[in-house]
Chains A and B, each alone.
Chain A
Amino acid sequence: MLVQFYNVTKVYGNGVKALNDISLKIDRGEFIFLMGPSGAGKSTFIKMLFREEVPTQGQIFISSRSVVRMKRSEVPHLRRSMGVVFQDFKLLENKTVGENIAFAMKVVGAGNREIAARTTEVINMVGLKGKEDSFPGQLSGGEQQRVGIARAIANRPLLLIADEPSGNLDMATAEGIMDLLYNINRKGTTVVMATHARELVKNAGKRIITLEAGRVVSDLCTLE
């Protein structure tokens, strides 16, 4: 079991109840779509996974470790077991594609030789061979998101979290990104992906958790 939520409730300082008594489990190797309208609590759910937010009530375990009771100094180690992909890519504009990926590995203390080898490897994996020295501004949206994914998997995470990764992309490009995520999942990485796009989810045959007003309203293997 990779992730366990027990009766998790989150109330923000301004009184907004973002999550309301959520309990669920995520197994290693699963691919999960997180669906629901804006404001349903998807972003809060995702932020709980990498502990940007902590629950007001309830418990979260990741790899059997309590995220709630975790000390501040232990958080970096939790996050090193995860990779995050953002809707707006969040690439560093003043670094090249290669440097953006190397940066993520440097941050967790990888050696230079390992960084060089792994950077080449993940750039090939996401299909950006030859673009190592381009700056993000010179790439298309789809290519930028591939860099974002390459950066997220560079440290070989157990869990890949994607928050609307195709939200800024057209349908054809989005499908390319989905294929890439499925590929990563097939190699053993657990993937949690928040999305609005029903057409991407419909025929995927993956587990779909739907949130509405902070509650899980359905947890199914296909979308009806």
Chain B
Amino acid sequence: MNLKNFSYFVKEALISLSRNRVLSLATVSTMAVCILFLGLAVLLTVNAGNFMNQLESDIEIIAYLDDSLSDQQIRAIESTIQATAGVQGVTFVSKEEALQKLQQKFSEEDYDLQQTLGKNPLPHTYEVKAVNPQEVAQVAQVIGEIPGVYKVNYGQGVVERLFQVTKWVRIISMVFMVLLAMGAIFLIATTIRLAIFSRRKEIYLMKLIGATDWFVRWPFFIEGILMGLVGALIAIGLLSGGYTSLINNAQTALFFIPLVRQQSFLIQIYLSLAAVGVVLGTIGTYISLNRFLNV
């Protein structure tokens, strides 16, 4: 394709876009709606993933220590835990700190918990983070066998169920996005087919006169790409506007869900959506056009 032809193709594409205004508008709207939904799905998936990661990283193992241990023995246990495979970090919580935390939970200043309880009944504990939250059960078992540790707790039962849930949330959101993308391609191909159908006489003529397939295709591709891009930009505008105001306003109401807010990451998502618009426009045009080129 030489430069002279390219300007001709662009001119043809623009002329036909403005001449078939209604169909162009229908295609652009379809694109915008499809990409908007796709974008919503991506943002939901990304945030769900982020939330799941956070939940998983909150998982920790609490190792309860025997009351009779000396300071030296306690420090020895810390080194043993530190050296255990799969352990990311260890924090010591003394029985005094534990009591203070408990006191804070009751949060009544004039109420002295220690006085009520007499002797501090809480043990020293180690809070252990696993490198991989999925391995928490194995790590907990190893730690539980260290002499001086009389009990480990990592939310047995609950954690396993959480992993089941996060796994399914991830699978379902992937499947949902793939289905949405396929639906979008079908919808867009149908709209573009309508636009091309109204010009089948022109295509037939071009082919009979001796136009190559690519000569016929280029203006349509340029049209499809432009429509995909414009549709994507509309969708991205709506999406980024909505998401920004969600971050700014709704975060207080939804404080327990950590929304993804890194600008660079969000921009990456928006750019990918623009690329998706271009790709959808191209694939849609390709699918719709081929039938009419068989002359």
A residues with CB within 8 A of B: 50, 52, 73, 76-80, 82, 84, 90, 92, 94, 104, 106-109, 155
Cα distance, A108 to B205, chains bound together (Å) = 12
Q: Are B202 and A92 interface neighbours, CB within 8 A?
A: yes
Which DSSP category, helix, strand, loop or mixed, fits chain B's interface? helix
Q: Are B208 and A80 interface neighbours, CB within 8 A?
A: no
Shortest beta-carbon distance from B201 to chain A in Å: 6
Name B209's contact: one of A73, A94, A155 (CB within 8 Å): A155
- Please give 12 more A-B residue pairs, beta carbons under 8 A apart, in addition to A76-B210, A90-B204, A108-B210: A52-B295, A76-B211, A79-B208, A79-B210, A84-B209, A90-B205, A92-B202, A92-B205, A104-B209, A106-B8, A107-B210, A108-B211
Q: Are A107 and B209 interface neighbours, CB within 8 A?
A: yes
Q: Does B177 contact A (CB under 8 A)?
A: no
Chain A residue at minimum C-beta to C-beta distance from B2: A109
Cα distance, A92 to B201, chains bound together (Å) = 8
B209: chain A residues at CB < 8 Å are 79-80, 84, 104, 107-108, 155
Between-chain CB contacts (< 8 Å), 27 pairs: A50-B208, A52-B208, A52-B295, A73-B212, A76-B207, A76-B210, A76-B211, A76-B212, A77-B210, A78-B210, A79-B207, A79-B208, A79-B210, A84-B208, A90-B204, A90-B205, A92-B201, A92-B202, A94-B19, A104-B209, A107-B206, A107-B209, A107-B210, A107-B215, A108-B209, A108-B210, A108-B211
Shortest beta-carbon distance from A64 to chain B in Å: 19
Cα distance, A156 to B206, chains bound together (Å) = 16
Give the contacts of B190-217 with A (CB-CB under 8 A): 201-202, 204-212, 215
Give the contacts of B202-236 with A (CB-CB under 8 A): 202, 204-212, 215
Cα distance, A122 to B130, chains bound together (Å) = 84
Cα distance, A76 to B216, chains bound together (Å) = 12
Q: Are A80 and B201 interface neighbours, CB within 8 A?
A: no
Cα distance, A94 to B211, chains bound together (Å) = 20
Q: Are B202 and A107 interface neighbours, CB within 8 A?
A: no
Shortest beta-carbon distance from B207 to chain A in Å: 8
Cα distance, A104 to B211, chains bound together (Å) = 9
A79: chain B residues at CB < 8 Å are 207-210
B201: chain A residues at CB < 8 Å are 90, 92
A50: chain B residues at CB < 8 Å are 208
Shortest beta-carbon distance from A144 to chain B in Å: 14
Q: Which of B19, B201, B211 has the most CB of A within 10 A?
A: B211
Shortest beta-carbon distance from B291 to chain A in Å: 15
The 10 closest A-B pairs by CB, nearest first: A80-B210, A79-B210, A107-B211, A76-B210, A76-B212, A107-B209, A104-B209, A108-B210, A107-B206, A84-B208
Chain B residue at minimum C-beta to C-beta distance from A92: B202
B5: chain A residues at CB < 8 Å are 109
Cα distance, A109 to B218, chains bound together (Å) = 14
A155: chain B residues at CB < 8 Å are 209-210
